[in-house]
Amino acid sequence: MHSTRNLNEFFLEVGWDHALKASDFTVGDYKLPPNSEERKALIAKINKQISHLTDQRTLTAQQKIGERDRTALYDHLVADFKNFTQYLRPELRPMQQVF
């Protein structure tokens, strides 16, 4: 889940000011992925489950990240990766299609 949160921050360009962002590797017309309410809710769920000091830490199984949540997060990140690779600077593009 740490990696999911890190990739989300990378693609949406949120988080630490000094962190690398997707646009650091893309051409000028790179489009950020949509930050839907579903996505925000999933990331909030991750934040309550891992590595944040909070008094609202998830304790019950129903509130924890489940299979449906993992699938939704995966779908978001795969779409983000596809979008990102379309805008990669030419010198960074893979030799063959990834997806």
Tabulate helix, strand, coil % of the chain (nearest 5): 55, 0, 45
Look at residue 93 in the predicted model and tell me its pLDDT: 85
CA dihedral 63, 15, 26, 86 (to 10 degrees): 10
Question: What does the pLDDT profile of the chain (99 residues) look like in tens digits?
Answer: 778 999 999 999 997 888 999 999 999 899 999 999 999 999 988 887 775 566 666 667 677 788 999 999 999 999 999 999 999 999 998 777 766
Residue 45 in tokens:
């769920």
- φ, ψ dihedrals at 63, nearest 5°: -90, -5
Domain ranges across the chain = 2-92
